[in-house]
Amino acid sequence: MDEPGRPEPDRDVDERNPESVIRMYLSMLESRNLTDRWRAAEALGEIGDARAVQPLIRALRDDYAEVRWKAALSLGVVDGRVAVEPLIRTLGDEDPWVRTGAAQALGEIGDPRAVEPLIALLRDDKPRVRIAAARALGRIGNTRARDPLLRLENDPDAGVRVAVVRALGEIPTEREIPLA
């Protein structure tokens, strides 16, 4: 039984054929229907095919935050180096969920270019965004993040404080960094 709101695949799509499925979702990402675009952005991340990178990057500029959020999350799963700069720009999105998704994706990718923009995001008004930024910085593990994270140890939000402690545990200290 089909889910309500889930678009019917084209008649020509053989769901057992990965190529047909990818083409279907790439097409849905360009649909005028919000639900189609949202589901396509999510599915393309689950599939993880590199052909989805540029369409997902374009989806970061969608009119709807739900699509931008899913596109950002999916770019963290799909081949990520090309997506780093667009995701960094997305950290400035007006919607906190989109900023959160971009921070999560940058943490998954682990590119050091994201460290300074994520450090700046630690000052976001929304706790969920600060949590995502702290987690991403912990995953990246760059020592430049240590002092900015330490400044959040007394954040008014308990979730932020927990994320900071965990992130600090993932970042090596100078004594732990091999000199070789």
For 146-167, how does the pLDDT look when each residue is reduced to its tens digit (9 = 90+)? 999 999 999 999 999 999 999 9
Is 5 part of any domain?
A: no
The pLDDT > 70 percentage for the chain reads 86
Q: How confident is the model at residue 81 (pLDDT cuts 50, 70, 90)?
A: confident
Residue ranges making up the domain that contains 153: 94-172
Q: Is the pLDDT of residue 2 over 50?
A: no
CA distance 118 to 104: 10
Q: Is the pLDDT of residue 3 over 60?
A: no
Residue corresponding to tokens 């997902």:
56
- One domain, residues 74 and 118: no
Q: What is the CATH number of the domain that holds 160?
A: 1.25.10.10
| CB neighbour class for 23 (10 Å; exposed up to 12, middle 13-18, buried from 19) | middle
Write down the pLDDT at residue 177.
54
Is 21 part of any domain?
A: yes
Is 6 part of any domain?
A: no
Is 85 part of any domain?
A: no
Both tokens of residue 135? 């987690």
Write down the pLDDT at residue 17.
75
Q: Is the pLDDT of residue 174 over 70?
A: no
Three-state SS string across 20-80, please? HHHHHHHHHHCCCCHHHHHHHHHHHHHHCCHHHHHHHHHHCCCCCHHHHHHHHHHHCCCCC
Is 2 part of any domain?
A: no
Q: Is the pLDDT of residue 80 over 90?
A: no
Which value, in Å, is the radius of gyration of the alpha carbons in the chain?
Answer: 18
Q: Which of 68-82, 126-140, 143-157 has the lowest mean pLDDT?
A: 68-82
Q: How confident is the model at residue 175 (pLDDT cuts 50, 70, 90)?
A: low
Both tokens of residue 68? 């931008």
User: Domain total for the chain?
Assistant: 2
- One domain, residues 100 and 168: yes
- Range 87-91 contact pairs with CB under 8 angstroms and sequence separation of 24 or more: 87/60, 87/114, 88/113, 88/114, 88/117, 89/60, 90/60, 91/117, 91/118, 91/120, 91/121
